[in-house]
Chain A
Amino acid sequence: MKPLMLQGHERSITQIKYNRDGDLLFSASKDQKPNVWYSLNGERLGTYNGHNGAVWCVDVDWTSTKLITGSGDMTTKLWDVQHGVPLASIKTASSVRTCNFSYSGNQAAYSTDRAMGQNCEIFIIDVRTVDASLSHQDSTLRIPVLQSKVTAMQWGTLDETIITGHENGQITLWDLRTGKEINAVNDHTSQINDMQLSKDGTMFVTASKDTTAKLFDSDSLMCLKTYKTERPVNSASVSPILDHVVLGGGQDAMEVTTTSARAGKFDSLFFHLIYEEEFARLKGHFGPINSLCFHPDGRSYATGGEDGFVRVQAFDNSYFEYVFE
């Protein structure tokens, strides 16, 4: 089927996310304006105007009422999804690299870059009631990260833990009651670009610059599977209905201008979750894929690229009929 091309961003896409129902698709971009789209037809509902810098991350809570974004303008903002107005803006000491709502949507976490003499830090905030006063309130928990900076983050399933991926490839599990590290693994050798939970949250898939993606257990951080490619992986997602994983990546953004699209390998790669075998490739973007995710119903997936486009690709029947023996 022909993919939907969502053209609305002027610069490269940094992160895309579906809401829980899958009817909305949120996209964050370096052009400062996160967008929201109807995932069914690719129509743009609106934009969230207010940031003054590249927006690095976006997340929507499970009720699709609140949106959180983190930006290079050294703020993280909470938005009313429906009306597109900012509810709160929290000043930070450096760029906000990751942000996520917890399972319950009562809490949110965001992390800042180690830059301008500031350490990388993880903040946990209470977002049960969001208004302008949030910007003055202290965060419920503040964890300074002294080693390598946080480049990807996910909440554990029960609001008790968070998992962070770091620039040096380390993955750390934090206990939020104590603010202490529970476990850390070093299966990856280079920066973790993305982490996404499986549908039930018991596993997550990482995407790393070391050209591999790996599947981990969310509690023990045990590495279950490894998916090998030839290029840095920027994003990876687990299918909610089939034993499939999709990977996207390509050249480093810096090197993109010097490589032709044919050399860059900007395809989405489909792997079997268990057998670790690549079984399909899909072309599309003119640059690396920066973020991708499966639709919650598993019948389509969306990619956001360095080329500024978001593509929504619905699967043909042959995709569902294809069976690994």
Chain B
Amino acid sequence: MAKKKSEEYGGDCEADGEYGEEPNFEDPEGFVDDVTDEELLADVLKQKPCETDGVENVVVVDNIPKVGPARQEKLKSVVEKLFANFGKIVNVYYPLDEEETTKGYAFLEYKNSAQAEEAVKALNNHRLDKSHTFAVNLFTDFQKYENIPEKWEPPTQQPYKVQEDLYNFLTEPDAYDQYCVAAETGQNSVQVQFWQNTIPEPTDLETRERFTDTFVKWSPLGTYIVTFHKPGVAIWGGTSYNKINKFPHPGTQFVDFSPGENYLVTYGPTQTGQKIIIWDIRSGQEKRSFVSDNMSSMSMFRWSHDDKYVARMCENSIQVYETPGFYLLDMKSIKIPGIRSFSWSPTDNIIAYWVAEETDVPAKVTLMEIPKKREIRNKNLFNVADCKIHWQKSGDYLCVKVDRFSKSKKDKKDADVKFLGMFYNFEIFHMREKDIPVDSVELKELILAFAWEPVGTKFGIIHGDPSNANVSFYEVKKGQKPSLVKKLEKKLCTHMFWSPRGQFVVLGNLTMGTLEFVDTNNDFVVMTTADHFRASDVEWDPTGRYVVTGVSSWKVKEDTGYNMYSFQGRLLRRTMLKNFVQFLWRPRPPSLLSEAQQKEIKKNLKKYYPQFESKDRMRMTRASKELLEKRAQLRAQFMEYRNKRIAEWTEQKSRRLQLRNHVDTDNLDTEDVDEEIVEFLVKEDVTVLE
């Protein structure tokens, strides 16, 4: 194509030739050229070859092993294989000393500088073995550090950027909660609405079209909301949900906040596994990145409650990283052969983990203190198929659900282990008592759900067949075995959702969409049953006043939307929304009031109660007044129309009479129906009494 064009152009030139005399392009006399080349052709000059060309493609690798000629081939292959991951290596150079031994560093040249930079990023501090940790630098760094000017210039002061108040949403005087509703509006475009749950009707705060590509997520304290996009993720906050920061990690599928909202972890799949990046939220800096070769939840990072540590499980070990440097705690991972799962305490720097059973060694649940790595409690368990670790939210108790078996069979064909005669133990650890005593509760039936009361001492278990389940509630007391306080039988539920403030629990069957609201402080009475067909989500608001059930178009295509209930199960609002996908309450940070202050408020609740009550009543009457006015207006309009029509209709009476043989049928004459009782003799029986 290009060739053809030039030919055409040439042709034109020839044609132009006919125009004869060429104008004069000479500079006039005395002309001074005051336009520099840079001004004129900056873009062309940029491409001009320069001396350093090729140099920035070179990386310097320090701390490679010093080896003699015999093992150099091996070394080269190892090093180059590692570095070839980032692009083709076009040139290598291993400097040798007099004895033909490598000097401990090497130069590798890539095709372009981007590959070189990538290699530096990924392999700097790479541990080849115990004594060799690579230090990889760009060759051009030498120049950079050489050229540091002698005289230090103080950095220029940056203009102060006013930070928006991120906690504005907490200053709502009536403590109305916020929620967001996401609905798919097209491929990779999700509309998000922000609402304030005001009385009597919620207020629309903001609607954002195409806010995110897939879904949204609140940070654990409700400060930020995160959105997902092709180039990465962004967080938003403040009064009008402005962009606070963005984190360029293309293809991020999932994110996780640290509990204190200091760090963000992004997970994005790569061709072979996934890339995980830990970011500092405030600065937007990448703190550390990991490449993992599997997608499983094994590689999930789990945070300690105070953001001090982050840990992940590897095969036979736990890696604990210390913030803010993100180095391994004591520079080494904690070896735990056979570890299957672990979990941080929500209030203390304690890790609970369990290791599977080996031939002669029992399975074991261990509590370990971090950073001392001291085991503070051990519990051996036998015949264990699986364990699940459930911490109570206030960290007072830990429950380990143990699936046990009476017999196991190794299936020769599948090499799968089959367990027979399953039964279930709940090992309750009393964390706040001396030496952490452990109690056990045993159940024979299949366990469908387990949940701690977030505040309080109760836990609930749903067990049995899903269509005919039993719900058992236990109470844990200091120094005592957990006691069964109530068993609700023949329930149709599969999940249980405790109110975040405790006491109330919603038992739900998420395939049928039936819900039962239970008050656990009042003899476990079922207050109400509700029905939201095919509801797939149940969400308590952070204050425990409202429950929302949602039918998401991720699961069901018809009748998507959400219902809002009071905590007693009274249906407040039904909202149908096309392509609705998510309903999320905005979380709240924990109260700043001390325990004593909260107690004080609870004690004086009677004093505050009428205040709030009258406020609410005022709002409701205002709303109902508005409604009544609206209705009155509708009524007046309609009656005006009706009266006109009725007048017309009355005028037509004679014509109607004509049509029906002068029988007036306008008023029904069925009012005086006589009821007639007709008695039939059906059968006559004679019974002789003895």
Which residues of A are interface residues toward B (Cβ below 8 A)? 20-23, 62, 103-106, 157-159, 200-203, 217, 224, 230, 262-263, 274-275, 296-297, 324-325
Closest 5 CB pairs of A and B: A104-B659, A202-B645, A274-B638, A263-B533, A21-B670
Residues of A close to B649: CB separation below 8 A: 157, 200-202
Q: A23-B670, A158-B655, A202-B645 are in contact. Are A274 and B634 (CB under 8 A)?
A: yes
Q: A202-B648, A263-B533 are in contact. Are A103 and B559 (CB under 8 A)?
A: no
Residues of B close to A23: CB separation below 8 A: 670, 673
A201–chain B nearest beta-carbon distance, Å: 8
Q: A159-B659, A275-B634 are in contact. Are A230 and B665 (CB under 8 A)?
A: no
Residues of B close to A297: CB separation below 8 A: 668, 670-671
Contact B635 A103 (CB under 8 A): no
Residue of B nearest to A295 (CB): B670
Q: A158-B652, A202-B646, A296-B670 are in contact. Are A104 and B638 (CB under 8 A)?
A: no
A161–chain B nearest beta-carbon distance, Å: 13
Alpha-carbon separation in the docked complex, A224 to B645 (Å): 13
Residue of A nearest to B668 (CB): A296
A288–chain B nearest beta-carbon distance, Å: 15
Contact A103 B670 (CB under 8 A): no
Q: Mark interface residues in B634-659 (1 if CB within 8 Å of A CB, else 0).
A: 11001001000110110010011001
Query: How many of chain B's residues touch chain A, expressed as a range?
Result: 20 to 34
* Residue B401 lies at the interface, judged by CB distance under 8 Å to chain A: no
Apart from the given pairs A157-B652, A263-B534, 5 other A-B contacts in the complex at a CB distance below 8 Å: A20-B668, A21-B670, A62-B665, A202-B645, A262-B513
Q: A21-B670, A62-B665 are in contact. Are A217 and B531 (CB under 8 A)?
A: no
Q: A262-B531, A274-B634, A275-B631 are in contact. Are A103 and B668 (CB under 8 A)?
A: no
Residues of B close to A230: CB separation below 8 A: 559, 576
Residues of B close to A203: CB separation below 8 A: 645
Q: A103-B659, A157-B652, A324-B631 are in contact. Are A217 and B670 (CB under 8 A)?
A: no
Would you mind naming 30 contact pairs between A and B with Cβ atoms under 8 Å apart? A21-B668, A21-B670, A23-B670, A104-B660, A105-B660, A158-B652, A200-B649, A200-B666, A202-B645, A202-B646, A202-B648, A203-B645, A217-B641, A217-B645, A224-B638, A230-B576, A262-B513, A262-B531, A263-B533, A263-B558, A274-B631, A274-B635, A275-B631, A275-B634, A275-B635, A296-B670, A297-B670, A297-B671, A324-B631, A325-B631
Residues of A close to B534: CB separation below 8 A: 263
Contact A158 B656 (CB under 8 A): yes
Residues of A close to B488: CB separation below 8 A: none
Alpha-carbon separation in the docked complex, A146 to B638 (Å): 36
Residues of A close to B655: CB separation below 8 A: 158
Residue of A nearest to B648 (CB): A202
Residue of B nearest to A105 (CB): B660
Alpha-carbon separation in the docked complex, A294 to B297 (Å): 61
Alpha-carbon separation in the docked complex, A21 to B645 (Å): 25
A199–chain B nearest beta-carbon distance, Å: 9
Residue of B nearest to A200 (CB): B649
Residues of B close to A104: CB separation below 8 A: 659-660
Residues of A close to B628: CB separation below 8 A: 325
Residues of B close to A217: CB separation below 8 A: 641, 645
Residue of A nearest to B630 (CB): A275
Contact among B512, B559, B634, B659 with A158 in the assembled complex (CB-CB below 8 Å): B659
Residues of A close to B635: CB separation below 8 A: 274-275
A273–chain B nearest beta-carbon distance, Å: 8
Alpha-carbon separation in the docked complex, A307 to B646 (Å): 39
Contact A103 B656 (CB under 8 A): yes
Q: Mark interface residues in B324-348 (1 if CB within 8 Å of A CB, else 0).
A: 0000000000000000000000000
Residue of B nearest to A104 (CB): B659
Residues of A close to B668: CB separation below 8 A: 20-22, 296-297
Residue of B nearest to A102 (CB): B659
Residues of A close to B638: CB separation below 8 A: 224, 274
